[in-house]
Chain A
Amino acid sequence: MNELEDMVPSHDAPVDPSRRRLLAGLLTAYTASLIPWALAQPAPHADRGAFTALSAILVGRQVLDATQTSRLYDALVADDAHFPADAQALLTLINQRQIAPQQLQNVLDTEHSPLAPLPRKIVGAWYLGVVGSDEAARCIDYETALNAVVVADVLKPPTYAYGTYGSWTNKPI
């Protein structure tokens, strides 16, 4: 763990060192290499920390909005009480076996893992802003869902005005 702690960038905002260690402690050298920034992130508790780390790995981000992380986590837990334990288990699996994000679903499906639905839940929450399925589905984010953010230089989320009349006639980029 000391080795990992040494990777924490020293210029980050000051956080409680004990909490910082909490999130860093969830990672191995392999996962830390995917999301080195996460080592410096505070996490109120290990479950949230695991969700933060998993989210970062699955959505390929070096930065995640803390408020959005919190809201999605709370919604996922409200949807499924086993979510925290499952998230911890999935992170452990990735840590131990060094599974690349692109291989993850295939591995879980091939092994008929009970964790197989979990990545889609997390990625769906971040990219669609939706947690839960069917009648239990809830919209948590829309304008800040990652699928809107990723294309924000070209498109507005539907219902938001693109621009003045005719502004869409130009070449997009």
Chain B
Amino acid sequence: MSEQLSADIVVIGSGIVGSLAARRLALQGASVLILEAGPRLDRDRVVAAFRNSPIKGNWMAPYPPSPWAPHPIYVPKDNGYLKQAGPYPYPAEYIRAVGGTTWHWAAQAWRLVPNDVRIKSLYGVGVDWPLTYEELDPWYQEAEELIGVAGAPDTGSPRTQPFPMEPVAEPWSMRRFRERLAPTYAVVANTVARNSRSYGGRPACVGNNSCQPICPVNAQYTGETAIAAAEAAGARLIANAVVYRIEHDAKGRIAAVHYFDPDKGTHRVTGKTFILAANGIESPKLLLLSASDKYPNGLANSSDMVGRHLMDHPSTSLTFYADEELWLGRGPQSPSSINTLRDGAFRSQHAPYRLDFTNISQVLSVTQDLIKEGVYGAEFDKQLRWRAARQVNVKNVLEVLPDPDNRITLSSEKDAMGIPKPEAHYSIGDYTRRAADVSKADFARIAELMGGTGLRYSADGNFANNQHITGTMSMGNDPKSSVVDGFGRTHDHENLFICSTGVMPTAATMNSTLTGIALALRTAEHILPKPAGVHAAISNAEREASLS
């Protein structure tokens, strides 16, 4: 006889966004139950798996999927989990495990720029958000204090309170970019959830240069820390609980969710309020899977918008040799970028973008290149050192516009548990492609200023994906064109909320996680407000108590 599971708040998904919403609600006194499809992971084992991996350039390698909760794997071969309907491939990567995908993020924790939420009004493209940047500001602040964000003031995102931490110390390579690109381009420190001092019981960065796929010392905030904080606050986590159906009652309220354990035993969990926080692909999949006679198109889908408006950040790039030794690989992987192209009147014509410099060690890629070229003998060492010292890369992070034809649907194929796999329908529009063309001039100018030689542009029309899954459950004021309202409540079900980067109506030009967290904290406050007089931001004492 299985245990009767019930809670005030049932959260589906234990990633950084869902966990921090769960934590906040648990601190408010609610009983919170978190259901996670994947298993618990151990940081040390992930580090060992990376070191033992024969494909170190593939950051999913240390995170093999569990049979009951598969996630997409493409190397060494496609495991066929995320089906591709085309016309352009969308090889999204994410991790179904306790803590979710931020196990291997680069910890870039950007705010939007204010005009990002008004691009329809200002530039005639995309849609406006149902809230303003000013409304988001305190929730960004709370998120930044929770996860420990280090940043510089001059990135285009205004703030009313200071960052919790000073920017992370600038690697030599990025200093040289900053010095040599000035005044043409302003290179600034990235806004990151990486400690520049001890914070939240975690140490300062010591430059392991493996932020992706794993920070061995926990200087970078991840979903592992978030779920630990939720559990410390009183939330209960059940791992390996693969939710396959959300059940509603006659009035359309959510009554329960059903999950499989790894042996395919079924369990039913009741609750008062439900939060779907299973990322921008698995969440719409679950809503579509939960179709019923009353809701034949799936839950929360009277608008037919569930799964639509799939967005991410495509990137093109330039790799070249600088004319001085920079030795990427010292310090964290993603330290600096150019933020001056994230907004402007040009947005009526083409996408805005960030320009991002990698500080990932070039040793692996240079070695692979030399082997491919058939360089042998003493020349190998000589070339390896020369190239590893000088090879650099700049990429753009391009906005894509919401397009209803870009979407996640249910595949006719099923996974090992008999659950339909997600299927991606994706294309990259002219708005984004025009920006890629424009940015090539920036690439060329940057290379020129760095004395670049051996310029290698990514192939025309070939875009790398950045795993910033957005849009598939967009928020908006109109129930006919959006899935949730401005507080994350589904238009169709009073007690079903969505906490996910998937609620973002546009993708802007920044990694989406911080915005996802800020929106989720705002949703949590909406579900269960803090008592009057308690400031929205987390106090230091509360933070230290919950995170230590």
Contact = CB atoms under 8 A, between A and B. Distances in A.
Q: Say whether A and B bind each other.
A: yes
Contacts of B206: 161-165
A139 interface: yes
A160 B208 contact: yes
Given A147-B384, A165-B169, A165-B196, A154 B327 contact: yes
B5 interface: no
Nearest to B209: A158
Given A127-B367, A147-B364, A159 B216 contact: yes
A83 B241 CA distance: 47
A135 B54 CA distance: 9
Contact of B56 (A34, A100, A158): A158
A149 to B, nearest CB: 9
Given A147-B384, A158-B56, A169-B172, A163 B209 contact: no
B204 A102 contact: no
A53 B94 CA distance: 45
A150 B384 contact: yes
Contacts, number: 153
A60 B327 contact: no
A101 interface: yes
Contact of B50 (A137, A159, A169): A159
Given A147-B367, A151-B363, A158-B329, A119 B384 contact: no
Nearest to A62: B378
Contacts of A135: 76-77
B376 A119 contact: yes
A1 interface: no
Nearest to B331: A168
Contacts of A163: 206-207
B533 interface: no
Contacts of B379: 60, 101-102
A104 B371 CA distance: 12
For A104, A120, A143, A147, the residue with the greatest tally of chain B CB atoms inside 10 Å of its CB is: A147
B341 interface: no
Contacts of A165: 169, 196-197, 204-207
B208 A58 contact: no
B278 interface: no
A163 B52 CA distance: 23
Given A155-B329, A158-B329, A104 B376 contact: yes
Interface in B158-212: 169-172, 175, 196-197, 204-210
B368 A162 contact: no
Nearest to B76: A134
Contact of A132 (B54, B329, B363, B381): B54
A105 interface: yes
Nearest to A126: B380
Contact of A172 (B51, B327, B366, B374): B327
A170 interface: yes
A60 B372 CA distance: 17
A139 B367 contact: no
A113 interface: no
Interface in B109-138: none
Nearest to A167: B207
Interface in A80-114: 100-102, 104-106, 109
B363 to A, nearest CB: 5
B217 to A, nearest CB: 7
B432 interface: no
Nearest to B360: A158
B378 A60 contact: yes
A156 B206 CA distance: 11
A119 B175 CA distance: 39
Nearest to A166: B169
A162 B331 contact: yes
A169 B175 CA distance: 8
A167 B206 CA distance: 8
Contacts of B380: 59-60, 123, 127
B379 to A, nearest CB: 6
A57 B169 CA distance: 42
Contact of B384 (A151, A168, A173): A151
A65 to B, nearest CB: 16
B536 interface: no
B100 to A, nearest CB: 21
Contacts of B216: 159, 161
A11 interface: no
B172 A171 contact: yes
Nearest to A164: B206
Interface string B299-332: 0000000000000000000000000011101110
B384 A142 contact: no
B294 interface: no
7 contacts: A34-B377, A102-B375, A102-B379, A124-B371, A151-B388, A158-B50, A172-B172
Interface of B: 47, 50-56, 76-77, 169-172, 175, 196-197, 204-210, 214, 216-217, 325-327, 329-331, 361, 363-364, 366-368, 370-372, 374-381, 384-385, 388-389
Nearest 6 A/B pairs, CB to CB: A105-B374, A101-B377, A162-B207, A168-B331, A60-B378, A137-B54
Given A123-B371, A128-B371, A137-B55, 18 more contacts: A34-B377, A57-B376, A104-B374, A120-B372, A124-B371, A138-B54, A142-B51, A147-B364, A154-B327, A155-B209, A155-B388, A156-B208, A161-B206, A161-B216, A166-B169, A168-B172, A169-B170, A172-B325
